[in-house]
Copies of this chain bind each other. A is one copy, B any other.
Amino acid sequence: MEDKTVKSVLLVFAMEAEAQPLIQALGLKEDAPPKILGPAPCLTFSGSHEGLNVHVVWNGKDRETGVDNVGTVPASLSTYLAVMAFKPDIVISAGTSGGFKAQGAAIGDVFLGTAVINHDRRIPLPNFDKYGIGYSLCLATPGLQSSLGLKQGVVSSGNSLDYTDKCMSIMEQHGVAVKEMEAAAIAWACNLFHVPLMCVKAVTDIVDGDRATAEEFLENLHSAAAALQSTLPRVLGQLAGRKLGEL
């Protein structure tokens, strides 16, 4: 990967509640006319922060149910179209997530991803098994991580809020610290463009804890979004004008 200077960043969010605090804090404006043509439901916002061009894409709402377009399918499409439109130097998959206390996660923590995998794509055929897991390294940012004091670990994606025994087995095999619903699909789209990916994930619920995910998720969504929001501008500040290899 070319060791270029970071001038522009694209943040990908699944949920409006995750994206709005950053959009407001940085005063980003919705791109008009739209930068993404066609009926894709995603919305984009742009502006700058500490000299960095900052673009945000979130997946928009589902026409039928009115909920945010969570999960891998809308995330990959938004990422593909937004990378095509903005040609960012780095993509950041940002949002809320479950955390594994076995990997040191507590509610409100913000993690940096070291790598991403899928935990719900079991294809036991030669090479398809590896494709299904889709292990992909995130951009290494040791300086950023230590200067911001963030935890780090493997991020795992799946299309369900809960998990099955088979999901858990795959997550345990890979020492997963953070479970969410989009990062691996965002990585897939980034890899097509050879654009490096960072993951910044705030913990709303403990996966290997005693409480039901849905209950914990709803209770902590807004506080975790606030933790995310206090961290993201500091992450962007660390990226501005640096070379990829010195992060």
Give residues in A with beta carbon < 8 Å to B: 38-41, 62-67, 69-74, 76-77, 80, 84, 118, 120-125, 127-128, 130-132, 158-162, 164-166, 185, 188-189, 191-193, 214, 217-218
A158 CA / B218 CA spacing, docked (Å): 26
Name the 9 nearest CB pairs between A and B, nearest first.
A122-B160, A39-B192, A121-B159, A164-B164, A65-B131, A65-B127, A73-B76, A67-B127, A123-B161
With A72-B72, A160-B120 in contact, is A64–B131 under 8 Å at CB? yes
Q: Which residues of B contact A118 (CB under 8 A)?
A: 159
Q: B80, B84, B124, B162: which contacts A124 (Cβ < 8 A)? A: B162
A158 CA / B73 CA spacing, docked (Å): 12
Instruction: Looking at the assembled complex, report how far the CB atom of A189 sits from the nearest CB atom of chain B, in whole angstroms.
Output: 8
Other CB < 8 Å A-B pairs besides A39-B193, A41-B192, 17 of them? Answer: A38-B80, A39-B192, A62-B131, A64-B131, A64-B191, A65-B127, A65-B130, A67-B128, A70-B123, A70-B128, A71-B123, A72-B72, A77-B80, A77-B189, A120-B159, A121-B160, A132-B160
Q: Which residues of B contact A40 (CB under 8 A)?
A: 80, 192
Q: B39, B69, B121: which contacts A71 (Cβ < 8 A)? A: B121
With A65-B130, A192-B40 in contact, is A125–B80 under 8 Å at CB? no
The 13 sampled A-B contact pairs (Cβ below 8 Å) are A38-B192, A39-B192, A41-B192, A67-B128, A73-B73, A73-B185, A73-B188, A120-B120, A120-B158, A120-B160, A122-B160, A123-B160, A125-B214
The residue of chain B having its C-beta at the shortest distance from the C-beta of A71 within the complex is B121
Q: Which residues of B contact A166 (CB under 8 A)?
A: 164
A206 CA / B50 CA spacing, docked (Å): 58
Instruction: Looking at the assembled complex, report how far the CB atom of A38 sits from the nearest CB atom of chain B, in whole angstroms.
Output: 5
A76 CA / B62 CA spacing, docked (Å): 15
A76 CA / B192 CA spacing, docked (Å): 15
Instruction: Looking at the assembled complex, report how far the CB atom of A60 sits from the nearest CB atom of chain B, in whole angstroms.
Output: 10
Q: Which residues of B contact A77 (CB under 8 A)?
A: 76-77, 80, 189
